[in-house]
């Protein structure tokens, strides 16, 4: 500016006002940041639930439980976290239902048959009987009709749990034998491991049944406590060493042809959760059914080939007359159980009505996949 510059009084009066406006704006913005800062910086701690499985450390079922847990933890976005523990970490595998109900643990990954000692109706919700449907069809029954029956059962028994369901399991093999069997007559007298209503079924067929968790099977076989057994599938069986104590593996059976996982939560803990977190626990089970089943089909089929080719196990289709004997034995058992227990009859009648309708559709509509398989790959040989 030189000495000839002309000063406009109006402009000079405006400058202090503009400075006052900008100063107020900056001050206001700073205040807003200061007010919001505590809300941004305080992180909410997640709700943590301790879940124990009913499975030995090497069992593929732990991987399936972890698939469920991973889905819950990811969808919960840091608000909820499940910490998973393998079987035996806090309580024994057959004790996880009671431990969940009592709040010793917050949740369990198990099967209903592991607590069927409280009520044989429990076996109708997994490891169930013979009604003409498979596990996929009966898991659909749970979702459409069966859940209220389950809720009524646990209430009758004083169990403080909420349950969800996952993984329609492929049919379980008849199991492992030290020597070959030719038919139902050969089963009489065997000391055999199974669980739930399958124990009633096999006893009716003349076997001496012991109920054991998976991790105790091979030691019991080695000690002679049992001389034949089933657990669930080629992968679980191979991982705990079934091939080291028996070489005859019979595939196919009615004794456990419709099982699925039961995922339990302590009801008080569950009821205290926000509704959106409850929904995540529920719908993660449905999502886990898909990932569990995919893992099963991939891994079970691989391990069956390994048992045959590497471990030199004799893979044999269960003789047809054993299936026929199981049907006759089940007729005896279900007649007795429905006569003794009105609640068993109520649940069984619902399952029968469902199976008759759903099975009719399924068998009339289903493709003959074995025919297609043999066309492409050759005769199966049984």
Q: Over range 173-202, report the average pLDDT.
A: 95
pLDDT for res 233: 97
pTM for the predicted model, two decimal places: 0.87
Mean pLDDT computed over 148-163? 98
| DSSP structure string for 191-238 | EEE--THHHHHHHHTT-EEE---GGGHHHHHHHTS-SEE--S-HHHHH
Mean pLDDT of 203-222: 93
Residue 346 has a pLDDT of 98
| H-helix or E-strand spanning residue 329 | helix 320-340
- Name the one residue in this structure whose structure tokens are 């196919």: 252
Tell me: pLDDT of 9 over 90: no
Q: Are 160 and 285 in contact (CB under 8 A)?
A: no
Q: Which band of pLDDT confidence, cut at 50, 70 and 90, is reported for residue 44?
A: confident
Position 21 pLDDT exceeds 80: no
Of 24-33, 58-67, 207-216, minimum mean pLDDT range? 24-33
Q: Which helix (H) or strand (E) holds 184?
A: none
Q: How far apart (Å, rounded) are the C-alpha atoms in residues 370 and 376?
A: 10
β-bridge partners, 229? 176, 193
Rounded to an integer, the average pLDDT of 266-291 is 98
pLDDT number for residue 135: 95
Average pLDDT over residues 86-98: 97
Residue 268 host element (H or E): helix 267-271
Give buried/exposed letters for 227-241 (b at 16+ CB in 10 A, else e).
bbbbbbbbbbbbbbe
DSSP character string of 296-323: HHHHHHHHHHHHHHTS--EEEEPPHHHH
User: Distance between CA 310 and CA 56 in Å, rounded?
Assistant: 24
On whether the CB atoms of residues 240 and 214 are closer than 8 A, the answer is: yes
Residue 28: band (very low, low, confident or very high) from pLDDT cuts 50, 70, 90: very low
Considering only 25-29, 283-287, 370-374, which range has the smallest mean pLDDT? 25-29
40-49, 210-219, 355-364: which has the minimum mean pLDDT? 40-49
Domain ranges of the chain: 47-168+259-297
Tell me the CA end-to-end span of the chain in Å, nearest whole number: 108
Q: Work out the number of other CB atoms within 10 angstroms of the CB of residue 45.
A: 8
Between CA 8 and CA 64 the distance in angstroms is: 82
What architecture does CATH give domain 47-168+259-297? 3-Layer(aba) Sandwich (3.40)
The answer on pLDDT for 259 being more than 60 is yes
Question: How high does pLDDT run on average in the chain?
Answer: 90
Question: How far apart are the C-alpha atoms of 368 and 225, rounded to whole Å?
Answer: 42
């Amino acid at each position: 500016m030189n000495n000839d510059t002309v000063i406009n009084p109006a402009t000079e009066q405006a400058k202090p006002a503009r400075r006052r406006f900008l100063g107020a704006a900056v001050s206001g913005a700073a205040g807003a940041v200061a007010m919001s800062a505590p809300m941004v910086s305080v992180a909410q701690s997640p709700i943590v639930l301790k879940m124990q499985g009913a499975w030995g450390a090497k069992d593929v079922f732990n991987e399936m439980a972890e698939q469920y847990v991973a889905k819950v933890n990811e969808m919960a976005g840091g608000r909820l976290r499940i910490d998973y523990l393998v079987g035996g970490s806090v309580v024994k595998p057959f004790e996880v239902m009671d431990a969940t109900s009592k709040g010793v643990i917050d949740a369990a990954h198990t099967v209903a048959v592991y607590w069927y000692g409280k009520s044989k109706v429990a076996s109708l919700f997994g490891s169930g009987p013979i009604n003409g449907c498979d596990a996929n069809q009966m898991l659909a029954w749970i979702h459409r009709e069966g859940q209220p029956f389950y809720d009524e059962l646990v209430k009758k028994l004083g169990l403080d749990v909420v349950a969800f369901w996952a993984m329609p399991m492929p049919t379980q093999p008849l199991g492992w034998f030290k020597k070959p069997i030719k038919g139902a007559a050969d089963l009489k007298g065997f000391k055999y491991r199974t669980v739930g209503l399958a124990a009633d079924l096999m006893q009716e067929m003349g076997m001496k049944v012991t109920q054991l968790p998976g991790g105790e099977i091979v030691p019991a076989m080695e000690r002679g406590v049992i001389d034949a057994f089933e657990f669930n599938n080629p992968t679980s069986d191979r991982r705990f060493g079934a091939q080291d104590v028996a070489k005859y593996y019979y595939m196919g059976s009615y004794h456990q042809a419709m099982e699925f996982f039961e995922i339990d939560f302590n009801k008080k803990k569950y009821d205290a959760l926000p509704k959106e977190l409850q929904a995540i626990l529920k719908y993660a089970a449905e999502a886990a059914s898909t990932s569990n089943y995919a893992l099963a089909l991939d891994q079970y089929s691989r391990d069956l080939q390994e048992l045959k080719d590497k471990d030199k196990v004799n893979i044999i289709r269960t003789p047809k007359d054993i299936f026929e004997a199981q049907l006759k034995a089940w007729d005896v058992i279900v007649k007795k159980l429905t006569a003794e227990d009105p609640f068993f009859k109520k649940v069984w009648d619902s399952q029968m009505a469902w199976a008759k309708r759903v099975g009719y559709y399924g068998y009339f509509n289903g493709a003959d996949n074995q025919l297609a398989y043999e066309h492409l790959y050759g005769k199966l040989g049984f």
